[in-house]
Structure 1
Amino acid sequence: MKIFNYRFIIFALSIVFGIFFSIPSLMQTDTGKKISLGLDLQGGLHMLLGVNTHEAVTAKIKSIASSIKYFADDEEILIDALSINEDSVTFTVLDVDEMPKMDEMLNTSITGLEVNKNDQDYILTLTAEDIEKTKDFAVSQVVETIRNRLDQFGLSEPSVTRQGDTDIVVQLPGIKTAEDEKAARELISKPANLELMAVDEERADQVYTMTASQAAQYGNIILEDTNDASTKYLVKEIPILNGSQIIDAQVAFDQANQPIINFTLNSSGARIFGDFTAKSVGKRLAVVLDGKVYSAPNIRERIGGGSGQISGGFTVAEAGNVAIALRSGALPASVKLLEKRSVGPSLGADSIKASMIALISGFVLVFIFMIIYYKRAGIIANIALVTNIFIIIAVMAMFGATLTLPGMAGIVLTVGMAVDANVIISERIRELLREGMSIPKAIEDGYSNAMRAILDANITTLLVAVILYAYGTGPIKGFAVTISIGILASMLTAILGTHGIYEALLPKIMQSKDKKKWFGVK
């Protein structure tokens, strides 16, 4: 037998790999990939949010109305009484000859619509299937939007996952102060729904005597100024543009050194913006953010280039958060805080301490038992066990995994499972040695006989871990990840690694022929 057999070489390389990639996490170095600690280990904020999916349907109805208005203006189609009801859009095409053109646009440009016509009157509603798709997409979009906002905000390893049909779980490790918690909550819950809306100049002076229902009769809504609730604006209900057409938003400062937000529109938004301002010189355009008017400047000339600005007495921090929210996209529906839990850093430290005590004590007891019972075979099994832990840490660090309390439980369980494979192999070898078989033959047959039992146990456990990862939530996923890595690592170290060590040491074993010293066999 050659000392440097292929099994031994692979095992040696796995030891080097495990130690090298574990050092940044174990030593907490400034460089290298490290395992991140989860919410339950380093403290932070846990929130359960509910998404108002009905608002997403209303927003889509409003978007359809905006598209119809722009198409009619662009193609010079005369329409009347364009209005939005709770779940439908109604309007009238005044020229019968223009109806085919409108029909073609509705059939080709807008999907998921039920179009009902009564002479020249149109009633547009979403199909039941499209409503469900819109609601489902809204929740998925909220998840992505919140995740993007938190990434840009600079929070470390945020976890944003969907739970059920309309709920979202947000976990923010490292949130330790009330100020950080407040800033994170405001950033998450801020709709950041930007709309550019035309002021109804014809009836603007009636805004203080008009009720909301009276304004609706003219297709208008009444909005308040963001800085002064007593100042009101009468604007057209159907917006000219919305935040979905924004591609960038940055904080800047005006001539008075006050924070403002400069935004840039995409090509479609820039064209619509330019066409509208060209036709509305002398009129006002309201810049509306989350239902509040931030400014309503007069349009002096056509505004090209697809850019604009929002000013409204922001602080620098507020302007920064709004810019982040605009860049990452508006929430398609509002979110409501259903549950909030704060985990203090001291509780996380206690969890780490308790977990480490469990891991070290379990490891030491197993380590001592293997040496006492299996002698040098136990030392070989312990080498595989240590390597197994290094490999788990290294793989998790490489993939940037987050270690949670259930994940640490998975590591503790892996210690037992890893040594279990070595126990099965050692017992098979001992049985064959007691029957009088030679040491080389006993080692080879011992591994062959133990292989089926080890594979059956590990593969079934691995399948359960995959199912837990597929259907579980954050902490359960953490447990599934660590135990899956541990199972694969234990199969490498126990089946391949220890076999390679026996092959490398076989000349010494044959020279001593002391079965008790090597395998604990009397």
Structure 2
Amino acid sequence: MLNISFPKLVMIWLTVVVGLVFAMPNAFYSRVETHNDAMAIIETGQTNAALQEDASLWPEFLPSGLVNLGLDLRGGAHLLVEVQVEDVHASFLEGFWPTVRDALAAERNSVGFVTREDSPPTELRVRISEEAGATEAFQIVRGLATPVASFTGAAATNIDVSIDGTLLTITLSEAEIVAMNERTILQTLEIIRRRIDEVGTREPTIQRQGSDRILVQVPGVGSANEIIELLGTTAQLTFNPVVGRTAEADASAGTGNIVVPALDEPNVFYIIERRPVVTGEDLENAQLDFDQNGRPAVGFRFNTSAAREFGDYTLENIGSPFAIVLDNEVISAPTIQSHIPGGSGIITGNFTVEEATNLAVLLRAGALPAELEFLEERTIGPELGADSIAAGQVACIVAGIAILVYMMLSYGLFGLFANIALVINVGLIFGLLSIVGATLTLPGIAGIVLTIGMAVDANVIVFERIREELKTAKGPARAIELGYEKALSSIIDANITTFITAVILFTMGSGPVSGFAVTLGFGIITSVFTAIFVTRSLIVIWFSRTRPKTIEV
């Protein structure tokens, strides 16, 4: 007997209603987007009349999730950057020199005096004065090596040491270079992601390309320069003791010191100690602030250990200047007026509000471990995206109308039921995309258009089976029931194979391929649901009310 229990009917249509409710915000895209942006700002504690007005554009009790538009639909910035991993190698060797110097100096009686020789960035060359102590010096430096922190290089050490007379040459081992490059790329990916997320852009694409390149696609920004300015600063912040000031860039700095230019003072250079007191890696928070004169500044707070170190330093050096250095430029060099025990303060300078906000974003996100070289940059205008959306809409409408007409002409009233299910199917696809926060791209639209064509396949199989059963002189109720029963296995088999293909495309592909796979996969799920449950429930409701003696499919 053709029948669906009342609880099952309720569950079917409750699922339909929930899906369509979640899809509904996409019909009012601009209004809901404005509401969401306003709510995001209000949640940070800022509010005004304009924000409240924007927030009221959409009821808070309704879902406000939207299908994010990809770069090809919304416009935005496309960048391909190369991470200068060699900078990290040179930085490691630079930081390794004090360790080598101290270790050899402890055995001065046998190795003599220790001096550093000029060398390329990929090497650290150290000369000792006593040739008789060369072997001992070699063993001492070899003893400073540590195991490589990676699975592939577990049996290797991080440095290679060679000796030629009294000259020791230290380089990174191959295993350490591979491991260090991998760590650098992963760290750079995370910091780029944090920086872009901090400024509130929607659904950026940040993924690795090859061994040392990163693809960055950010929809919705006005130009690629905005992202370049955000990513182009390494944001390496240090707090260094000041030795003196000079007007000469090539002034003698002395052992352990470096000469650094002042950011806002032309022809002014600071001689600072190379080793900082604390660094930006010790920051716990940074945000826009204002100094005592109401000028924009950046407030910061150190973590517990760094706050203790900073507090001890300020206590011991009251009256002495210290430099706040950002990317090898002194942005401020205040004099320590008193003990600063809390580990917090402000960075002042000739900042605008925007510059101070961006600096706070960079400091919160962390310093890039290496510089980035921008190999490719493109700004994609929103007009191209608007054309793509319009073309996609036309394709969906044409495909939809053709399917609707065909189904009505081929199957009459049952075709009407299939058409209703088809419309619901498209709504459910957008509901699912909104729930998971997926990004819709041009290939994704192609996936939806393909789904519209495929959505009626299951209904066609069922209706043809019902036709076959009607020819055997069974009653209409039994024919409908058998039609669904016998068509079910074919529907499941056909859609499972296509769904497996979508999963493989999503897993193995990237970018546009993944976008196509997502909409195709969701379309298969909703198509099977609407064909097996929604269309059947419409037929059951109609049949239970009319009780026809005969039916035509």
| Shorter-chain TM-score range | 0.7 to 0.9
Choose which of 220, 243, 267 in structure 2 pairs with 1:174.
220
**1:249-299 C-alpha deviation (Å, 9 max, x unpaired):** 223333444333232222232344345556666654332111212233455
Choose which of 143, 147, 150 in structure 1 pairs with 2:193.
147
Aligned to 1:23: 24
Aligned to 1:342: 379
**Cα distance in structure 1, aligned partners of 2:396 and 2:348:** 56
**Cα distance in structure 2, aligned partners of 1:168 and 1:115:** 30
- Aligned runs of 1:49-60 on 2, under 5 Å? 49-60=81-92
- For 1:369, what is the secondary structure of its paired residue? helix
Choose which of 366, 372, 394 in structure 2 pairs with 1:329.
366
| CA spacing shift, 1:396–1:209, aligned 2, 3 Å | closer
**Cα distance in structure 1, aligned partners of 2:94 and 2:528:** 58
**1:357-383 C-alpha deviation (Å, 9 max, x unpaired):** 110111111011101101122122112
**Cα distance in structure 2, aligned partners of 1:207 and 1:465:** 64
The CA RMSD over aligned residues, in Å, is 3.9
Count of equivalent residues: 501
Amino acid at match of 1:20: V
1:273 equivalent to 2:323? Answer: no
1:395 equivalent to 2:429? Answer: no
Amino acid at match of 1:459: I
1:160 equivalent to 2:195? Answer: no
TM-score, normalised via structure 2 length:
0.78
The question of whether the paired residues in 2 share the 8 Å contact of 1:207 and 1:233 is answered with no
1:47 equivalent to 2:55? Answer: no
Task: Indicate the larger mover: 152-161 or 458-467.
Answer: 152-161
Q: CA deviation at 1:422?
A: 1.2
The question of whether the paired residues in 2 share the 8 Å contact of 1:273 and 1:303 is answered with yes
1:512 equivalent to 2:513? Answer: no
Q: Which has the higher contact order (CA 8 A, sep 6+)?
A: 1
**Cα distance in structure 2, aligned partners of 1:224 and 1:311:** 17
Aligned to 2:54: none
- For 1:424, what is the secondary structure of its paired residue? helix
**Cα distance in structure 1, aligned partners of 2:161 and 2:235:** 34
| CA spacing shift, 1:140–1:258, aligned 2, 3 Å | same
Aligned to 1:189: 232
Choose which of 109, 113, 131 in structure 1 pairs with 2:158.
113
Amino acid at match of 1:43: G
Q: CA deviation at 1:303?
A: 4.6
| CA spacing shift, 1:304–1:48, aligned 2, 3 Å | same
**Cα distance in structure 2, aligned partners of 1:270 and 1:62:** 26
Task: Indicate the larger mover: 1-10 or 128-137.
Answer: 1-10
The question of whether the paired residues in 2 share the 8 Å contact of 1:65 and 1:238 is answered with no
Amino acid at match of 1:130: E
Q: CA deviation at 1:89?
A: 6.2
The question of whether the paired residues in 2 share the 8 Å contact of 1:225 and 1:294 is answered with yes
| CA spacing shift, 1:256–1:8, aligned 2, 3 Å | closer
- For 1:381, what is the secondary structure of its paired residue? helix
- Aligned runs of 1:402-417 on 2, under 5 Å? 402-417=439-454
Q: CA deviation at 1:356?
A: 0.6
Amino acid at match of 1:337: F
- Aligned runs of 1:360-509 on 2, under 5 Å? 360-507=397-544
- For 1:515, what is the secondary structure of its paired residue? coil
Q: CA deviation at 1:312?
A: 3.2
Task: Indicate the larger mover: 32-41 or 487-496.
Answer: 32-41
The question of whether the paired residues in 2 share the 8 Å contact of 1:384 and 1:494 is answered with yes
Q: CA deviation at 1:448?
A: 3.2
The question of whether the paired residues in 2 share the 8 Å contact of 1:7 and 1:497 is answered with no
Aligned to 2:332: 295
- Structure 2: tracts of 5 or more residues without a match: 33-57, 134-138, 151-156
| CA spacing shift, 1:126–1:300, aligned 2, 3 Å | farther
Choose which of 233, 236, 245 in structure 1 pairs with 2:270.
233
Q: CA deviation at 1:351?
A: 1.4
**Cα distance in structure 2, aligned partners of 1:208 and 1:355:** 60
**Cα distance in structure 2, aligned partners of 1:109 and 1:139:** 17
Q: CA deviation at 1:336?
A: 1.9
Q: CA deviation at 1:354?
A: 1.0
**1:196-223 C-alpha deviation (Å, 9 max, x unpaired):** 234455xx7696554xxx86x9344432
Q: CA deviation at 1:355?
A: 0.7
Amino acid at match of 2:10: I
Task: Indicate the larger mover: 188-197 or 52-61.
Answer: 52-61
The question of whether the paired residues in 1 share the 8 Å contact of 2:247 and 2:268 is answered with no
| CA spacing shift, 1:503–1:80, aligned 2, 3 Å | farther
Amino acid at match of 1:37: L
Q: CA deviation at 1:330?
A: 0.9
**Cα distance in structure 1, aligned partners of 2:185 and 2:517:** 26
| CA spacing shift, 1:390–1:311, aligned 2, 3 Å | same
**1:86-111 C-alpha deviation (Å, 9 max, x unpaired):** 34667899xx9xxx999999769999
Task: Indicate the larger mover: 147-156 or 15-24.
Answer: 147-156
Q: CA deviation at 1:49?
A: 1.9
The question of whether the paired residues in 2 share the 8 Å contact of 1:47 and 1:339 is answered with yes
Q: CA deviation at 1:125?
A: 5.3
Q: CA deviation at 1:485?
A: 1.0
The question of whether the paired residues in 1 share the 8 Å contact of 2:249 and 2:259 is answered with no
- For 2:460, what is the secondary structure of its paired residue? helix
**1:400-449 C-alpha deviation (Å, 9 max, x unpaired):** 22222221111111111111111122122222323444433433332333
- For 2:324, what is the secondary structure of its paired residue? strand
